């Protein structure tokens, strides 16, 4: 069962507990930020499917980027994404089945296989980056260049420039592990 995060952000006056809880401003901010991420991720996934990558989930982007940055085994991918080795192995199997990665024998240890992103995987990542640029342009048209730039600058000021971590997907993946076809 999947929950649309955007549906969790509701009008403060329509909450059943309105007036009984002193403040939800902090929680609402967190939900709005999460809804922004989820909205962009869902739109990008839909557009990737339209462009021929119908078998990809936003979680696969995290995994492929971790593999490109050196996570070439299930153990290392699990560490980088903050998930179990079993969850990482399942993701690798799905990515391999869909031809986004391949396993190749380790030249130093033939008992070990190294994971590599395929040309198809790289093409999908490039398509995803293009789509995110297009989605950003749509937001810019909606709210204006100055507003979007101000939002980005404010978030950088609050979060710093090195806030994007590949293990951010760990909490997402843990929620998805129990869903059918979750990887």
Q: Higher model confidence: residue 158 or residue 18?
A: 158
The answer to whether 44 and 58 are in contact (CB under 8 A) is: yes
The 10s digit of each residue's pLDDT in 94-120 is 999 999 999 998 888 888 889 999 999
Q: Higher model confidence: residue 47 or residue 15?
A: 47
pLDDT exceeds cutoff 80 at 130: yes
Q: What is the mean pLDDT of the chain?
A: 83
Is residue 158 in some structural domain?
yes
Cα–Cα distance measured from residue 33 to residue 140, given in angstroms and rounded to the nearest whole number: 17
The 10s digit of each residue's pLDDT in 168-182 is 555 555 545 544 554
pLDDT exceeds cutoff 70 at 27: yes
Is residue 110 in some structural domain?
yes
CA–CA–CA angle 25, 28, 32 (5° rounding): 135
Cα–Cα distance measured from residue 103 to residue 106, given in angstroms and rounded to the nearest whole number: 9
The 10s digit of each residue's pLDDT in 30-81 is 889 989 989 999 999 999 999 999 999 888 998 999 999 999 999 999 998 8
CA-nearest of 142, 171, 135, 179 to 34 is: 171
Is residue 2 in some structural domain?
no
Which pLDDT value is given to residue 113? 86
Is residue 58 in some structural domain?
yes
The answer to whether 74 and 89 are in contact (CB under 8 A) is: yes
The predicted model scores a pTM of: 0.74
Is residue 182 in some structural domain?
no
The neighbouring-strand residues paired with 101 are: 117
CATH number assigned to the domain comprising residue 144: 1.10.10.10
Most confident of 19-28, 70-79, 159-168: 70-79
Domain that holds residue 74: 23-176
Domains identified in the chain, total number: 1
pLDDT mean over 12-35: 73
């Amino acid at each position: 069962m999947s929950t649309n995060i955007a549906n969790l952000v509701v009008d403060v006056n329509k909450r059943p507990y309105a007036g009984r809880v002193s403040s939800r401003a902090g929680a609402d901010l967190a939900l709005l930020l999460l809804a922004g991420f989820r909205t962009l991720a869902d739109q990008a996934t839909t557009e990737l499917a339209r462009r021929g990558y119908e078998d990809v989930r936003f979680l696969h982007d995290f995994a492929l980027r971790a593999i490109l940055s050196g996570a070439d085994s299930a153990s290392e991918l699990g560490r980088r994404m903050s998930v179990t080795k079993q969850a990482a192995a399942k993701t690798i199997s799905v990515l391999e089945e869909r031809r986004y990665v391949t396993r190749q024998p380790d030249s130093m240890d033939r008992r070990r296989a190294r994971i590599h992103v395929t040309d198809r995987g790289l093409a999908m990542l490039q398509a995803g980056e293009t789509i995110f640029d297009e989605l950003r342009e749509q937001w810019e048209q909606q709210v204006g260049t100055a507003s979007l730039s101000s939002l980005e600058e404010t978030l950088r000021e609050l979060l710093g420039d090195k806030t994007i971590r590949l293990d951010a997907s760990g909490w997402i993946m843990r929620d998805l592990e129990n869903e059918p076809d979750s990887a």
